[in-house]
């Protein structure tokens, strides 16, 4: 990803206009540009505040289609930001939908899994399932130990999902 304060400022201005047509066009134009730092954060912020399903769908499609591995740290930063549950779930889903490698963030994703609502936890489970093959036995054991240690964080009804995650890592 490149750093471009000018592009980030311009995108931010378009997103603040709340003109659905201009916002949708700006998101589409992002597909043709070299990825730049901060764009994912602006997209997450917009997704978090908009009520437009069209804009939300456009953001989801854009994030699901990202193929630049350098975007992974920014996506993870946004997942940890503390957005609305729906926004966090969409960001986690984009991890596996994009096909990018999130294996180096397996512990963070497991932490999110342990305290998430059911739908977000299912998305985390999918990301971890896609990453499991890239983890060493030591990393898998660390995740299993973490799950056992943090079992008390699980919300009601999440035990079966945790067991499924453990079986994928074992």
In angstroms, how far is CA 100 from the centroid of its own chain? 11
Domain-ending residue, one of 52, 79, 100: 100
The token pair that represents 53 in the structure block = 């399903």
Cross-strand bridge partners of residue 2: 36
Q: Give me the pLDDT at residue 5, please.
A: 77
Structural domain range at position 149: 102-170
Residue 119 and residue 79 share a domain: no
Residue 125 and residue 71 share a domain: no
Whose CA is closest to 7, among 74, 29, 62, 54? 29
Number of independent structural domains in the chain: 2
> What does each of the 170 residues of the chain score in pLDDT, given as a tens digit?
556 678 888 889 999 988 899 999 999 988 887 767 889 999 999 999 999 999 999 999 999 999 999 999 999 999 999 999 999 999 999 999 999 999 999 999 999 999 999 999 999 999 999 999 999 999 999 999 999 999 998 988 899 999 999 999 99
Q: Give me the pLDDT at residue 8, please.
A: 81
Residue 85 and residue 110 share a domain: no
Residue 58 and residue 111 share a domain: no
Residue 83 and residue 139 share a domain: no
Residue 63 and residue 91 share a domain: yes
Residue 77 and residue 2 share a domain: yes
CB-based contacts of 155, cutoff 8 Å, min separation 6? 115, 116, 117, 118
Whose CA is closest to 79, among 90, 63, 67, 68? 90
Q: Classify each residue of 24-46 as buried b or exposed e, where b means 16 or more C-beta atoms within 10 Å of its C-beta.
A: bebbeebeeeebbbbbbbbbbbb
Domain-ending residue, one of 57, 72, 100: 100
Residue 76 and residue 136 share a domain: no
Q: Give me the pLDDT at residue 36, please.
A: 76
């Amino acid at each position: 990803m490149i750093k471009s304060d000018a592009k980030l400022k311009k995108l931010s201005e378009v997103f603040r206009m709340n003109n659905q047509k201009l916002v949708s066009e700006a998101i589409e134009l992002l597909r043709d540009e070299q990825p730049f730092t901060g764009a994912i954060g602006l997209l997450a912020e917009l997704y978090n505040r908009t009520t437009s399903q069209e804009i939300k769908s456009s953001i989801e499609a854009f994030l699901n289609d990202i193929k630049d591995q350098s975007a992974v740290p920014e996506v993870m930063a946004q997942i940890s930001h503390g957005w609305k549950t729906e926004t966090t779930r969409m960001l986690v889903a984009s991890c596996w939908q994009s096909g990018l490698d999130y294996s180096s963030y397996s512990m963070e994703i497991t932490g999110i899994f342990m305290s998430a609502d059911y739908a977000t936890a299912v998305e985390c489970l999918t990301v971890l399932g896609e990453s499991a093959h890239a983890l060493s036995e030591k990393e898998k054991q660390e995740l299993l130990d973490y799950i056992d240690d943090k079992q008390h964080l699980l919300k009601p009804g999440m035990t079966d999902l945790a067991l499924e995650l453990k079986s994928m890592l074992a």
